[in-house]
Structure 1
Amino acid sequence: MEKRKTSFTPAACEDTELSINHPYYDVARHGIVQLAGDDNSGRRVITFSCCRMPPSHQLNHSRLLEYLRYTLDQYVENDYTLVYFHYGLNSRNKPSLNWLQSAYKEFDRKYKKNLKALYVVHPTNFIKILWNIFKPLISHKFGKKITYLNYLSDLREHLKYDQLNIPEDVIRHDQNLRDKQKGRPPPLAKLPPPRPPLPTQQFGVSLQYLKDKNKGQLIPPVMKQTVSYLKSKGLRVEGLFRRSASIQTIKEIHKLYNQGKPVNFDDYGDIHIPAVILKTFLRELPQPLLTFESYDQILGITSVESSLRVTSCKQVIQGLPEHNYVVLKYLICFLHMVSQESIYNKMTGSNLACVFGLNLIWPPKGASSLRALNPLNLFTELLIDFYSKIFSSRTKILTHLEPWKILLMALLSNLMYVIGGMTLIPVGIISHSNVRGSFCVFSLDTCV
């Protein structure tokens, strides 16, 4: 059993922004369970921090189990990863063995099937004892998903480390372990200056950089190629965007794109690979597509009256920089198409929102809290389901045009052109590097 004395400091770990009306406020406020972005295979990451568990007399463990199920239910249909920070479990806060046994049995096959990796950080002898107790109950297949990590740095091989919300107690404990291993505190190493991106870099660079390096194209090449491929071959694939892919394959394609080399998804024979690449591209943008400035507005969507939410979404979208608006419209148009085939692919607007919400917007610092899940997913779902209304026109930009351009826009907007049964509509005002000011472009109401 654990002998360490770990102090529990509620003020340091509670989610102060959590609504008191949350159905599991009594448990959620401690921050024991957190969302932490995606791993290197595009799977959603959930963390469990023992050091944030208060003494047993202050926490109803049955409620904790219910809350864990409540959290996992939002992602159990998708591949996901669980990170368990063991440090901080002690005689005062640990659940009983009977509770652990019943908890394992209660999580049925659907929870275990899509759990693709379980990382146990800072394992101790107590973990070995538990393993011997539960070994008869744990299948060999499930056992292969468990990885023991002695140090936090070991996580970097598997996850996007900077997205993790690691408790300060765990960080200090990790440093103490390293100091003991080396006998003395290591000197502070100077980090090398960041390298400038390659001219052909596609991941981890801004939309403006991609535009400048791709002859003024507004839609990034990675998005254009993955969306085009998925439109032609993946619209009716069941569970599209829910499955993960080989880490090595993702790294290989990542490298090819960054080196400016061609990528042929047919060579890989897995429709989920371009789906993961698209999500990875969005998540690695220096600033989210919906921008940091919109984060608080988006979180407020749940407080808006239901009948006004689409209008509220449109107002947020209208406030985006022009380049972000065009790229977002391209993406949401495609996701709307995917949702239209949900009878085959099972990916409704709601299901797509659960996958893409955190890839479109995240806070300036750290990962999104579980508190933010509902509004972020709701906002994304509204974008997908009400695509035509939200992305109809962008009238606010007209005030910046010269009078003759406004007149031309007004005349054109009153005309209806029908070609082969398809209607041409204005898609907005976009800037052009060779023209001073802006001009209006018309396009078929599809993903351009």
Structure 2
Amino acid sequence: MSQLDLEELANIDLQRDEVVAASLNTGRRPSVAPTAGQDPALSTSHPFYDVARHGILQVAGQDRFGRRVVTFSCCRMPPSHELNHKRLLEYLKYTLDQHVEKDYVIVYFHYGLNSQNKPSLSWLQSTYKEFDRKYKKNLKALYVVHPTNFIKVLWNIFKPLISHKFGKKVTYFSDLRELREHLQYNQLLVPAEVLRYDETLGSLHQGRRTLPAKTPPPRPPLPTQQFGVSLQYLKDKNQGDLIPPVLRFTVTYLREKGLHTEGLFRRSASVQTVREVQRLYNQGKPVNFDDYGDIHVPAVILKTFLRELPQPLLTVKAYKQILAITSVESSLRVAHCRQIVQSLPEHNYTVLSYLMGFLHTVSQESIVNKMNSSNLACVFGLNLIWPSQGASSLSALVPLNLFTELLIEYHGNIFCTPNGAREQGGRARASEQGGASRACVNTGHLSALAAPPLRPPHPLPAAGRLL
């Protein structure tokens, strides 16, 4: 079959998809393009505002193993005459350029592609050629959701261009239920059109239940559960210690053996190993990171612990305040950060201070480990804060990462009060005037150089501990 025949077959199959969609009353029509006002962090000064405003591309948090997730939603694509596809390609490269140095995955929501908004096949081919090894090396998975016969035909067209190695990264999911098993689904930005389509498909297949509108309540946690439970739960099970055991153990280990590791927290670890360590911790069994021979295992475990907290460490309440950091005058940003963290609940404040103190120590070794405060912020920003619904938008990354960078870089100045310690009750705030301000700077300087004190961890009842 010639190339032209394949292209014609692809167009026919796409038209069939539209007929099927119409019969399901879901209609493969592109959604109304979101306006700038719908995304408070998207500015009209964005270099690709004309494309970004549609919401086609989103950075949707991280998967279960700390890899950045980028979603591409066809249902958000307007008709071709309303979208400059050359600009779309440039915007795609612009976005990926911010993440390709680390492991990442792409989720492609196929639903919504139709004859009106479909890019030309020549554009698709040139796009694939544009993405050289720089983009393919750290792409760990390409998830195609709701594939149709059109995708199969498209694959045959591109087959001469696609390497066997890249082909192994592609996984097809017929429904969102399958996708849930691979990603942090609550952080994923799934368009409403895709959700409705998935529910309709589910109801048409006998023996398959429709996805529930809400996630069913979780099972009661194990007495020794460490992941996916609240800070309060861990405190109650850990004799009142505010620092969760997993956080304390990983920080202790990395402080002793990982500070000079290049790319600490940026590299991924074996998926099977991470799952095994999580299982051991949750079952209250001992964990010895020396057994795994990979310093990146405890680093990934630390990030996974933060990401799986039921509520973000910085709290949902602080999300909008943090997004506003870019509108604050540069000279006042540290004070703004201090005000936000001083308003956190006492438990969150203590854990955050402990973590940021350690990351500050990591950043001081950046000549060796290449992880300065900016690089660490890119890794930890989305693990510390996310909105109450969905995931942070692509344009929210700048303020979230900036806020995190300030917490790390100016840890000693931010986590202090006029007396050099947070007052009981968690509501003390540093004064910006006179001697009070100087007290913050002085105590901050000392705490920036010295790591937070590490108390011996209280043993959990049958809980895992570092050997």
Fold agreement, TM-score > 0.5: yes
3-state SS of the aligned residue for 1:10? coil
The one of 197, 210, 216 equivalent to 2:221 is 197
What is the alpha-carbon distance in structure 1 between the residues aligned to residue 28 and residue 362 of structure 2?
Answer: 49
Relative distance call for 1:369 and 1:39 in structure 2 (3 A) is same
Residue 74 of structure 2 is aligned to residue 50 of structure 1? yes
What RMSD over aligned residues (CA atoms) do the two structures have, in Å? 2.9
Q: 1:144 offset after TM fit, Å?
A: 0.8
The one of 438, 443, 451 equivalent to 1:446 is 451
The one of 364, 372, 389 equivalent to 1:348 is 372
Q: 1:12 offset after TM fit, Å?
A: 6.3
* Alignment correspondent of 1:213: 237
3-state SS of the aligned residue for 1:83? strand
Residue 30 of structure 2 is aligned to residue 8 of structure 1? yes
Q: 1:88 offset after TM fit, Å?
A: 0.9
Residue 286 of structure 2 is aligned to residue 281 of structure 1? no
The one of 54, 77, 83 equivalent to 1:59 is 83
The one of 113, 131, 144 equivalent to 1:120 is 144
Residue 103 of structure 2 is aligned to residue 79 of structure 1? yes
What is the alpha-carbon distance in structure 2 between the residues aligned to residue 187 and residue 121 of structure 1?
Answer: 15
Unaligned runs of 5+ in 1: 402-413, 416-423, 428-441
* Alignment correspondent of 1:411: none
Q: 1:213 offset after TM fit, Å?
A: 1.0
Q: 1:177 offset after TM fit, Å?
A: 2.3
Q: 1:71 offset after TM fit, Å?
A: 1.4
| Contact 1:51/1:87 (<8 A) preserved | yes
| Contact 2:416/2:422 (<8 A) preserved | no
What is the alpha-carbon distance in structure 2 between the residues aligned to residue 49 and residue 189 of structure 1?
Answer: 20
* Alignment correspondent of 2:6: none
| Contact 2:33/2:76 (<8 A) preserved | no
* Alignment correspondent of 1:176: 200
TM-score for both structures, normalised by structure 1: 0.86
What is the alpha-carbon distance in structure 1 between the residues aligned to residue 310 and residue 376 of structure 2?
Answer: 22
| Contact 1:226/1:275 (<8 A) preserved | yes
What is the alpha-carbon distance in structure 2 between the residues aligned to residue 24 and residue 165 of structure 1?
Answer: 20
Q: Which amino acid aligns with 2:229?
A: V
Q: Which amino acid aligns with 2:151?
A: I
Relative distance call for 1:315 and 1:357 in structure 2 (3 A) is same
What is the alpha-carbon distance in structure 1 between the residues aligned to residue 295 and residue 53 of structure 2?
Answer: 39
* Alignment correspondent of 2:340: 316
* Alignment correspondent of 1:331: 355
What is the alpha-carbon distance in structure 1 between the residues aligned to residue 214 and residue 43 of structure 2?
Answer: 42
Q: 1:198 offset after TM fit, Å?
A: 1.9
* Alignment correspondent of 1:259: 283
What is the alpha-carbon distance in structure 2 between the residues aligned to residue 238 and residue 24 of structure 1?
Answer: 33
Identity of aligned residues (%): 69
| Contact 1:42/1:245 (<8 A) preserved | no
3-state SS of the aligned residue for 1:9? coil
* Alignment correspondent of 1:407: none
* Alignment correspondent of 2:415: 391
Query: C-alpha deviations, 1:263-315, integer Å up to 9, x for none?
Result: 11111111111111101111111211111111111000000111111111111
Relative distance call for 1:182 and 1:62 in structure 2 (3 A) is same
The one of 113, 121, 124 equivalent to 1:97 is 121
What is the alpha-carbon distance in structure 1 between the residues aligned to residue 80 and residue 203 of structure 2?
Answer: 32
Q: Which amino acid aligns with 1:7?
A: R
3-state SS of the aligned residue for 1:182? coil
Alignment of 1:239-250 (within 5 A): 239-250=263-274
TM-score for both structures, normalised by structure 2: 0.83
| Contact 1:336/1:349 (<8 A) preserved | yes
| Contact 1:118/1:145 (<8 A) preserved | yes
* Alignment correspondent of 1:147: 171
3-state SS of the aligned residue for 1:147? strand
The one of 169, 174, 182 equivalent to 1:158 is 182
| Contact 1:425/1:445 (<8 A) preserved | no
Q: Which one has the bigger strand percentage?
A: 1
Q: Which amino acid aligns with 1:392?
A: C
Relative distance call for 1:446 and 1:248 in structure 2 (3 A) is same
How many aligned positions are there?
Answer: 416
| Contact 2:319/2:386 (<8 A) preserved | yes
Relative distance call for 1:32 and 1:400 in structure 2 (3 A) is closer
| Contact 1:425/1:444 (<8 A) preserved | no
Unaligned runs of 5+ in 2: 1-10, 19-26, 427-437, 454-467
3-state SS of the aligned residue for 1:217? coil
Q: 1:33 offset after TM fit, Å?
A: 0.8
3-state SS of the aligned residue for 2:72? strand
